[in-house]
Chains A and B, each alone.
Chain A
């Protein structure tokens, strides 16, 4: 069964009601389960679980430390282009927003990469808006080829591509792919994406699977929290991740929990999450998917980010600019969203160390570099 079919069966008012109706006994049962199933996940996301947040957090912490240790991987995004043909109502890159538009040449991208690498970061996430005529696969691949020697791990967060395009990117040295479905609610999705190629819900939904088939090592999924009621969104995200894990056991499936932030334009999220709800979502995901990476972005404020670290996070961004050209101080285009944690890499590392966590910069050795390997001193 494709995930689209599975989603049609699970993203229903009945599932939403089942989550709402899960009682305390179901929550306590779920907390004791070694391998929580779908019903347990529903209970962990239920209102009835709210009083048991501390117990969930403890289990999430223990599970995360056992599998990932006291380590947090650090990465930063590099915005290559903010040209966009979509009209996503919540996004700063929305084609209707009158913002300065910019696109780095591959050489400018390399200069940005050098500035980022100088901070010690070794994992990079390349982002573009959706403007395939300007910033298509060939362009992204050209940037990746130049940046690969500086960054052992290169990810992309770009528009939904065909499998052949993902394959071309892996050949250019890209090893990770991030794709947020934004919302798993097909009808809401249509209203939030009124214009542009991104309107195709199914094409986007299938993108992570195409990336898995194309040989990406890490595939990261998520919903933009705040667009729709969060419990069902997180439920769908978890089952999407598990579907990918089962069909592609060799790929590391990771999850992001991006929470909507204010941005250029008047649109505001209809279903904002409280901090407690974000914690419930994260810990429920950790218990359901003990081995999945969980990514936390700079959308969250420093104090909250630091407090969330022990609850299941495995990967964080640091030293972030969401503006094109933002790392070399040229004439940056407008950012996609406003970040809440403006700390540089050193400050994030210091905060992690203070909590007994070690920042990890490098977590993959590009095998195509075998011939250039140097000896340890």
Chain B
């Protein structure tokens, strides 16, 4: 296998070639006018927006007016409670000129905002057939992920923690399994509260991270956007570099078998070597 370097590391998704693996959102900003500066500072090329918030009649106050032209628009179906509503919102988004990408969110639990995997798979199947680039938000469940892949999803977007909690990669082990088992890109969405957590997700082999709350509600959203851009790039670089395996404790190189191959094996004790990385 030829090692990939940072320079030719492109995420190909839905016909786009993405250099940045940070996706951002438009929700929760104290002022939407910050969005262009956040896009610039973070380097993100994909931005999600809730169609429910888009108001084409609002003129300059329309959310879409704040999204720079070079960004890939990823409308989402926030507010959909079932597959049918998600499908209708996606079609509306396309009709309103938001493009063919759609992030499916089907949430029918107003207490925890957890996604409904079954309904998400049904909506994915319909929309993929209609030519959408479908990015479903999901619980990191391998069976649901396989269903989404079979239904034609372009990627899967497992949550790191319940949306808006900033609790980090609470579903780490399950996301690792998705990364290991799926051929699709795994984009960690929701729950990432700090750049270090995004970095960790990328080190694990996630294809990208979507971060909204942690940027939009930061004291300085532009600076936080920049920090996330750097963290995601660093995590990706580390993944490409092939990090050493984790050890629970420092280990001598060959404390038990170091004598093998030494001149006069058995004549002397093994010499502890350097701790491995």
Interface residues of A (CB under 8 A from B): 65-71, 120, 122, 152, 217, 245-246, 249-253, 291-292, 353, 356-358, 360-365, 367, 369-370, 373-377
Contact between chains at B32 and A358 (CB < 8 Å): yes
Count of chain B residues with a beta carbon within 8 Å of a chain A beta carbon: 39
Please, what's the 1-or-0 string for B72-94, where 1 marks a CB less than 8 Å from any CB in chain A? 00000001010001001101100
Q: Contact between B58 and A253 (Cβ–Cβ < 8 Å)?
A: no
Decide: A375 and B53 in contact? CB cutoff 8 A: no
Q: Which residues of B contact A (CB under 8 A)?
A: 27-32, 51-56, 58, 61-62, 64, 79, 81, 85, 88-89, 91-92, 95-98, 108-113, 164-166, 213, 216-217
Q: Is the CB of A365 within 8 A of B51?
A: yes
Dominant secondary structure of chain B at its interface with chain A: loop
Partner of A367 from the list B85, B96, B164, B216 (CB cut-off 8 Å) is: B85
Least CB distance from A124 to B in Å reads: 14
User: Can you list 9 A-B pairs with a CB-CB distance of less than 8 A?
Assistant: A69-B217, A70-B30, A251-B110, A252-B110, A364-B52, A364-B79, A369-B92, A373-B96, A375-B96
Q: How far is the CA of A374 from the CA of B248 in the complex (A)?
A: 58
Give the dominant DSSP class at A's interface.
loop
Measured in the bound complex, the distance between the Cα atoms of B92 and A357 in whole Å is 28
CB distance from A65 to the nearest CB of B (A): 5
A367 with B89, Cβ < 8 A, contacts A68-B28, A69-B28, A362-B52 known = yes
Question: Are B92's CB and A367's CB within 8 A?
Answer: yes
B108 touches A249 (CB 8 A): yes
Contact partner, A356, options B27, B30, B56, Cβ 8 Å:
B30
Selected from A250, A253, A365, the residue in CB contact (under 8 A) with B52 is: A365
Given contacts A375-B95, A376-B97, 7 further A-B contacts (CB under 8 A): A69-B28, A69-B217, A71-B27, A217-B79, A363-B53, A364-B79, A370-B92
The chain B residue sitting closest to A71, CB to CB, is B28
Chain B: CB-nearest residue to A244: B110
What's the Cα separation between A367 and B79 when bound, in Å? 11
CA distance A374 to B64 in the complex (A): 14
Do the beta carbons of A249 and B53 come within 8 Å of each other?
A: no
A361, B55: Cβ atoms closer than 8 Å: yes
The 8 Å CB contact of B55, one of A122, A249, A291, A357, is: A122
Expressed in whole angstroms, the Cα–Cα distance for A375 and B79 within the complex equals 21
Interchain CB contact under 8 A, B52 and A363:
yes
Selected contact of B108 from candidates A250, A363, A365, A367, CB within 8 Å: A250
Q: In the complex the two chains form, what is the Cα distance from A377 to B98 in whole Å?
A: 10
Q: How far is the CA of A376 from the CA of B53 in the complex (A)?
A: 13
**Nearest-CB residue, chain B, relative to A252:** B110
- B29 and A376 contacting across the interface, CB-CB below 8 Å: no
Q: Are A70 and B166 in contact (CB under 8 A)?
A: no
Q: What is the distance, in angstroms, from B159's C-beta to the closest C-beta of chain A?
A: 15
